[in-house]
Amino acid sequence: MAAVKASEVRGDPPLLRAAELARVVAGEGAGIPSADLAGILVSNLCFAHNSPSLWKLVGQAMASRLLCPLNVLALLTPRVLPQRRAQPEAYRLYLELIKCNVTSPSLFMEAGPNRDKITKSIADALQLLKNYGYCGTEFGHVVIMFVLALVTKLIDSILEDCGFPSGMAEGQESVYAIEGPQPMDLDVKKVPTENQNEHREQLRRKNTVMALDVLHMMVADRKIQSFLRLIFLNMPEKFSSLSQRLSSIEAHKVALETLLPSGHKINDLLIDIQKVCNANYQPNNKHIVDVLGNMRSGGSLLGQLTGAGRAACWIIFDIYVENAIDGKHLSGISAIEVLKEVTKTLQVLNEASWQETFKALWISALRLVQRAREPLEGPIPHLDARLCMLLALIPLSVAAILKEESDMFGAEGSKILPRRQGLISSLQDLIQYSGLLVPPSSVVNAANSAASKAAIFKSNYNAGVVNSSMVAQIDSSTKAVGNMLHLIIEACISRNLIDTSAYLWPGYVVSSGPLKDTTLPQESPWLNFIKGAPLSGPLIDALVATPASSVGELDKLYNIAANGSEEEKTAAAKILCGASLVRGWNIQEHVVGMVVKLLLASLPSDSSTSTPGSINHYLAQMSTLNEILLGLSYGDAIHILSLYGTVPDVAAALMPLCEAFGSIAPPPNHKSTILGETSVYSVFSCAFLCLLRLWKFYRPPQEYCLAGRGGSVRMELTLDYLLLMRNNRIDLSNSSAPSRDSYDNMGSVNEVPAQPVYIDSFPKLRAWYFQNQACIASTLSGLCNKNPVHQVANKILSMICRKMNKGGISSGNLSSASSSSVSGSSVSASDDSFQRPAFPAWEFLEAVPFVLEAVLTACAHGRFSSRDLTTSLRDLVDFLPASLAAIVSYFSAEITRGIWKPVPMNGIEWPSPGASLHSIEAEIKEILASAGVQIHSCYPRMICIRFLHINLVALIHNYCHVLIPLFHLCSYVVI
């Protein structure tokens, strides 16, 4: 206070005074924001040293994060509200502070290193224990109770100032005792007492109006509504105090509307508060998570200059993990290695402890998982990839960091090295971040199972039973509520980062009665598999849906996939690419290695596709390859492989498959590719579409953004670059194999004899690759009708136009539709088999751009309707799903050129879809749900259909296996 008064005497502006105050606080060694400083300033403000300059200083200190705004308002509330009649000037300034801060994110700012003291200060000031029976110490919970107390007291103040009794129950004490009036002199000009009294009475009336405005602003805020909703659902007895006030307002509503100039807001106030009691109310969960995340790191700019552990210092973690989940940008480098290096670098740059560093890493990944629930992010949340980041990649990167430490210092008896101790402390700190630990619905059972496992261990430990086999049991009589921390702990234990003593941490095990809407898993089907049960239908389905729990189980499965009968190989491949790949976090790196090795092992020793022996080998492996490729096409499987840095290896395995199966002609009776049906076209399409997902095939390779003279170039994963990465990796492994960092435990990939791979080894793939780039970069060059490509294009046109009355279209002359050869009658059903081409897939794909140009030309000249166009494209994709790639790349290029005129899509050719829109949307939702894409009811109507048309390329990259049925549906919907 001496520094404050000296600064005031000097006439320093508020910002300079706040800086001086910060210097004094820093010299005392107190953390920022300071709970003690808030108490000192508020106690002098009310009302020993009550002056405008001190109010300005407090406001500036709140804005500068020197003080926690929530703490200041909590301290002011019990002092100012009872004195609002005697001190109307102070009441007005108090209301101004609320108005500026209460709906701002700064009010619920992170409490920093003094979090516990600030939380206690708020609870004591508001007398939460006495008035609400709340004795907790969670910052997020105190925030919610603050909102309830403030809303309640403002309502009481408005009612009392208007001459009405408050809504308190009879005999209930006021939250704040009324104190005697205190002297206050803000009028430095010594206005006469009579005028001063008149001025103060006007100010009192204005304060009542302003209090109503502030209250209305608060309850209209979605964040505060979310807090009130939590109180209504979880603490109805505490919400009843607010309900009593609402009843009192309702009883005097007419009088209040007459007395107050802004009385029209009374009705809005009642509606905003009462709607949180509505069963259909949907709060913004993101705001709840933000506050209940209970981050301890300080968010103040001043704090960031005085040490480590500040939230902004760790933003690189958030940026990296979010970018790594972007499905449009797959990486050829393992996220494990990147996370390891980034973590070590930030620990040094921030001068932080390992506890702070690891905790920031865990919290970034927890936030990543929570963001998968935000509807505004889009209908492709990549939840499996996000969980992979949290529960597999980060534990593996931490394991690599701890291994470096142990290799450097060695084990000194039972002493725990600093990095491992930091890891343990960071995990223990996570217990209090309840908001971030809420598990997604898809992993609730896994979290409950992990918590129950810990509960059994603790029960046995307390009973003096030390039997490690007991821990693996799932006792139906012992149930516990699990969260994300239980899954994190299991992931760390499985990799020997910590031991089972974590089960005994305070607060880790929370016992529960019967769990609602959840069932704990019964005996794992993998136990039956290990005991020798044959791979029958029910067991296969169970193993596909249940992740393996040990590497031994995976080894047995891999041996079957490599050496079993054809049926066993197919079943084992299907199981390996199931839940073990996408949800087997504790053994995921081994599954990834086995899948890649299985793909590479399926290739013949002679990679040439021209020899009969090689062709027969590929055909013999067709069923197994089909299951692997279907598994990789589902959901986040390819993305998970990319997070482990296997994209170059996967590309090198897929290219010979595409070359081989694309060179084999299908049987003449081949009609279409049905999902689940194994054929040459289906295997080629799955392999080809998986390969396309590894780079931006639909854009020119020179799509780099150059900004000014010093512009930066972003390197995309072109096919050439992928091969260069793999060949370089092979050279490194051959030259220094023993020194390779075995962070991945994926030696199974490196065990396969590897040779450099070049695109020239695959002439058909290479030809399509360059043709695709040419089609994107420029228009098609005219070819004579005798060219073999045009002959194939005519066959395709005959196939897709066979059911149309206008007949087929020839690609012989694309300059004018009038000169296109059009048959006078449609093809009969008996000629259907004759019209279906039986070309190898590469020849088919080579001709697709010419087919597209022909049908677009016909549309432009009115010889081909928009409905015929869509139906034709659907038939084309049905016949060869891989043609979708050519369609997307060609149309993407044509749209950017703007050559074609818009075609009306809602004319007589397109009957109104209004009668069937609801059923179509329901079918689309069902199909998307099978791919793990959930469209919630909160989306506007027809969002599914708009999503499909806008995000066609994203669908190819993420869910190519659902496109065929979606094409059928979209052909009936107006674009």
**pLDDT tens digit string along 621-676?**
888 898 999 888 877 888 899 899 888 888 888 988 999 999 988 877 666 555 55
Q: Are the beta carbons of 455 and 511 closer than 8 angstroms?
A: yes
> 10 Å Cβ neighbour count for 386?
24
Residue with tokens 């009405």: 164
* The one-letter amino acid at 521: P
Cα 769 to Cα 691: distance, rounded to the nearest angstrom: 12
Beta bridge partner(s), residue 111: 298
Cα 113 to Cα 304: distance, rounded to the nearest angstrom: 12
Res 137: pLDDT: 67
**Which of the four pLDDT bands, split at 50, 70 and 90, describes residue 462?**
confident
* The one-letter amino acid at 64: S
Q: Are the beta carbons of 495 and 586 closer than 8 angstroms?
A: yes
* 372 pLDDT above the threshold of 50: yes
Cα 726 to Cα 188: distance, rounded to the nearest angstrom: 80
Q: Are the beta carbons of 398 and 497 closer than 8 angstroms?
A: yes
Which residues 6+ apart lie within 8 Å of 869 measured at CB? 855, 856, 859, 903
SS (HEC) of 361-417: HHHHHHHHHHHCCCHHHCCCCCHHHHHHHHHHHHHHHHHHHHHHHHHHHCCCCCCCC
> 10 Å Cβ neighbour count for 660?
28
* 827 pLDDT above the threshold of 50: no
Res 177: pLDDT: 39
Res 365: pLDDT: 94
Q: Which two tokens stand for residue 762?
A: 């695959």
Cα 343 to Cα 316: distance, rounded to the nearest angstrom: 10
* 747 pLDDT above the threshold of 80: no
Q: Are the beta carbons of 291 and 244 closer than 8 angstroms?
A: no
* The one-letter amino acid at 150: L
Res 463: pLDDT: 76
DSSP 788-817: HHHHHHHHHHHHHTTT-TT----SS--S-G
Residue with tokens 């600093």: 418
CA distances (Å), origin 397, targets 262, 328, 388: 59, 24, 12
Instruction: State whether the Cα torsion 71-72-73-75 is positive or negative.
Output: positive
Lowest mean pLDDT among 194-203, 369-378, 826-835, 859-868: 826-835
pLDDT in tens, 251-267: 888 888 888 887 777 88
pLDDT in tens, 389-415: 999 999 999 999 999 988 887 655 456
Cα 226 to Cα 885: distance, rounded to the nearest angstrom: 45
Tell me the pLDDT of the chain averaged across its residues: 75
Res 752: pLDDT: 47
Q: Which of 278-287, 542-551, 799-808 has the highest mean pLDDT?
A: 542-551
Question: What's the start-to-end Cα distance of the chain, in Å?
Answer: 69
Long-range contacts from 186-191, C-beta under 8 angstroms, 24+ separation: 186/50, 186/51, 186/52, 186/89
* 448 pLDDT above the threshold of 60: yes
**Which of the four pLDDT bands, split at 50, 70 and 90, describes residue 170?**
very low
Res 361: pLDDT: 95
Cα 297 to Cα 19: distance, rounded to the nearest angstrom: 21
Q: Are the beta carbons of 283 and 231 closer than 8 angstroms?
A: no
Q: What is the mean pLDDT of residues 949-972?
A: 54
Res 963: pLDDT: 57
Predicted TM-score (pTM) of the model is 0.62
For residues 530, 531, 535, 538, the Cα torsion angle rounded to the nearest 10 degrees is -100
Q: Are the beta carbons of 792 and 839 closer than 8 angstroms?
A: yes
Residue with tokens 């725990």: 416
Cα 963 to Cα 885: distance, rounded to the nearest angstrom: 11
* 558 pLDDT above the threshold of 90: yes
* 154 pLDDT above the threshold of 60: yes
> 10 Å Cβ neighbour count for 132?
20
Q: Where are the alpha helices (DSSP H) in 501-646?
A: 525-530, 537-545, 551-563, 566-576, 579-583, 588-601, 612-620, 622-633, 637-643
**Which of the four pLDDT bands, split at 50, 70 and 90, describes residue 300?**
very low
Res 813: pLDDT: 41
Q: Are the beta carbons of 916 and 935 closer than 8 angstroms?
A: no
Cα 856 to Cα 487: distance, rounded to the nearest angstrom: 54
* 743 pLDDT above the threshold of 60: no
**Which of the four pLDDT bands, split at 50, 70 and 90, describes residue 115?**
confident
Q: If 0-12 CB within 10 Å is exposed, 13-18 middle and 19+ buried, where does residue 344 land?
A: middle
* 876 pLDDT above the threshold of 50: yes
Beta bridge partner(s), residue 298: 111
Residue with tokens 């086995």: 594
> 10 Å Cβ neighbour count for 642?
26
Cα 785 to Cα 343: distance, rounded to the nearest angstrom: 62
Q: Are the beta carbons of 57 and 18 closer than 8 angstroms?
A: yes
**Which of the four pLDDT bands, split at 50, 70 and 90, describes residue 306?**
very low
* 542 pLDDT above the threshold of 80: yes
Q: Are the beta carbons of 132 and 247 closer than 8 angstroms?
A: no
Tell me the percentage of the chain whose pLDDT exceeds 90.
15
Res 908: pLDDT: 55
pLDDT in tens, 309-349: 355 678 889 889 988 887 666 777 889 999 999 999 888 88
C-alpha radius of gyration, the chain, whole number? 34
Cα 411 to Cα 399: distance, rounded to the nearest angstrom: 15
Which residues 6+ apart lie within 8 Å of 941 measured at CB? 921
Q: Are the beta carbons of 489 and 585 closer than 8 angstroms?
A: no
Counting Cα atoms < 13 Å in the Cβ hemisphere of 11 gives 0
Q: What is the mean pLDDT of residues 301-310?
A: 34
* 923 pLDDT above the threshold of 60: yes
Res 465: pLDDT: 63
Cα 547 to Cα 188: distance, rounded to the nearest angstrom: 76
* 301 pLDDT above the threshold of 90: no
Cα 972 to Cα 975: distance, rounded to the nearest angstrom: 9
Q: What is the mean pLDDT of residues 155-168?
A: 81
931 versus 422: the higher-pLDDT residue is 422
**Which of the four pLDDT bands, split at 50, 70 and 90, describes residue 726?**
confident
> 10 Å Cβ neighbour count for 253?
15
Q: Which of 152-166, 716-730, 854-868, 947-961 has the highest mean pLDDT?
A: 152-166
DSSP 214-279: HHHHHHHSHHHHHHHHHHHHH-HHHHHHHHHHHHHHHHTHHHHHHHSTTTTHHHHHHHHHHGGGST
* 936 pLDDT above the threshold of 60: no
Q: Are the beta carbons of 498 and 423 closer than 8 angstroms?
A: yes
| Cis preceding linkage at 879, omega within 30 | no
Cα 168 to Cα 243: distance, rounded to the nearest angstrom: 10
782 versus 403: the higher-pLDDT residue is 403
Cα 653 to Cα 634: distance, rounded to the nearest angstrom: 18
Comparing CA positions, the residue from 612, 672, 645, 586 lying closest to residue 876 is 672
Res 638: pLDDT: 87
Q: Which of 40-54, 168-182, 601-615 has the highest mean pLDDT?
A: 40-54
Q: Are the beta carbons of 694 and 650 closer than 8 angstroms?
A: yes
SS (HEC) of 68-119: CHHHHHHHHHHHHHHHCCCCHHHHHHHHHHHHHHCCCCCCCCCEHHHHHHHH
Comparing CA positions, the residue from 647, 651, 634, 538 lying closest to residue 579 is 634
Which residues 6+ apart lie within 8 Å of 671 measured at CB? 836, 879
Cα 355 to Cα 426: distance, rounded to the nearest angstrom: 5
Cα 973 to Cα 922: distance, rounded to the nearest angstrom: 13
* The one-letter amino acid at 447: A
CA 778 to chain centre: 38
Lowest mean pLDDT among 457-466, 627-636, 674-683, 744-753: 744-753
Residue with tokens 């470096």: 404
Res 280: pLDDT: 60
> 10 Å Cβ neighbour count for 551?
16
Q: Are the beta carbons of 560 and 535 closer than 8 angstroms?
A: yes
Q: Are the beta carbons of 554 and 580 closer than 8 angstroms?
A: yes
Q: Are the beta carbons of 140 and 291 closer than 8 angstroms?
A: yes
